[in-house]
Amino acid sequence: MSNMVLTDQLFFNKVGLNKVRIQDMVNDALNGADDGELFLEYSEIENLTFDDG
Protein backbone atom coordinates (compact mmCIF):
# COMPACT_ATOMS: atom_id res chain seq x y z
CA MET A 1 0.00 0.00 0.00
CA SER A 2 1.43 3.39 -0.98
CA ASN A 3 2.08 6.26 1.42
CA MET A 4 -0.60 8.39 -0.27
CA VAL A 5 -3.23 5.67 0.17
CA LEU A 6 -2.31 5.37 3.86
CA THR A 7 -2.41 9.16 4.26
CA ASP A 8 -5.81 9.39 2.58
CA GLN A 9 -7.21 6.62 4.79
CA LEU A 10 -5.86 8.19 7.97
CA PHE A 11 -6.65 11.88 7.44
CA PHE A 12 -9.66 11.83 5.15
CA ASN A 13 -11.51 8.58 5.85
CA LYS A 14 -10.79 7.87 9.52
CA VAL A 15 -10.88 11.46 10.83
CA GLY A 16 -13.44 12.79 8.36
CA LEU A 17 -11.56 15.69 6.77
CA ASN A 18 -12.90 16.90 3.42
CA LYS A 19 -10.10 16.37 0.87
CA VAL A 20 -11.38 18.95 -1.65
CA ARG A 21 -11.81 21.62 1.04
CA ILE A 22 -8.32 20.97 2.45
CA GLN A 23 -6.80 21.15 -1.06
CA ASP A 24 -8.53 24.50 -1.65
CA MET A 25 -7.28 25.87 1.68
CA VAL A 26 -3.69 24.78 1.00
CA ASN A 27 -3.82 26.22 -2.53
CA ASP A 28 -5.07 29.55 -1.15
CA ALA A 29 -2.40 29.58 1.56
CA LEU A 30 0.42 28.87 -0.89
CA ASN A 31 -0.82 31.25 -3.60
CA GLY A 32 2.10 33.53 -4.48
CA ALA A 33 4.51 31.81 -2.11
CA ASP A 34 8.00 30.80 -3.24
CA ASP A 35 8.22 27.92 -0.81
CA GLY A 36 6.09 26.24 1.80
CA GLU A 37 5.97 23.37 4.23
CA LEU A 38 3.00 21.33 5.37
CA PHE A 39 3.12 19.17 8.48
CA LEU A 40 0.32 16.77 9.46
CA GLU A 41 0.36 14.73 12.61
CA TYR A 42 -2.00 12.10 13.96
CA SER A 43 -1.81 10.65 17.45
CA GLU A 44 -3.88 8.27 19.53
CA ILE A 45 -3.95 7.94 23.29
CA GLU A 46 -5.35 5.08 25.30
CA ASN A 47 -5.85 5.19 29.05
CA LEU A 48 -6.77 2.46 31.50
CA THR A 49 -8.20 3.30 34.91
CA PHE A 50 -8.70 0.78 37.66
CA ASP A 51 -11.18 1.58 40.40
CA ASP A 52 -11.84 -0.58 43.45
CA GLY A 53 -15.12 1.17 44.20
- Residue 48 lies inside a defined structural domain of this protein: no
- Residue 16 lies inside a defined structural domain of this protein: yes
The 10s digit of each residue's pLDDT in 9-33 is 877 787 778 889 888 988 898 888 8
- Residue 41 lies inside a defined structural domain of this protein: no
- Residue 53 lies inside a defined structural domain of this protein: no
- Residue 13 lies inside a defined structural domain of this protein: yes
Report yes or no: 19 and 7 within 8 Å, Cβ to Cβ. Answer: no
- Residue 50 lies inside a defined structural domain of this protein: no
Residue 39: what pLDDT? 79
Is the per-residue pLDDT at 46 higher than 90? yes
Specify the number of domains making up the chain.
Answer: 1
Dihedral of CA atoms 7, 14, 16, 21 in degrees, nearest 10, equals 10
- Residue 40 lies inside a defined structural domain of this protein: no
40: phi > 0 → left, psi -120 to 50 → alpha, else beta; which?
beta
Task: Give the structural domain span for 27.
Answer: 1-32
Confidence of residue 4 (pLDDT cuts 50, 70, 90): confident
- Residue 7 lies inside a defined structural domain of this protein: yes
Global pTM exceeds 0.75: no
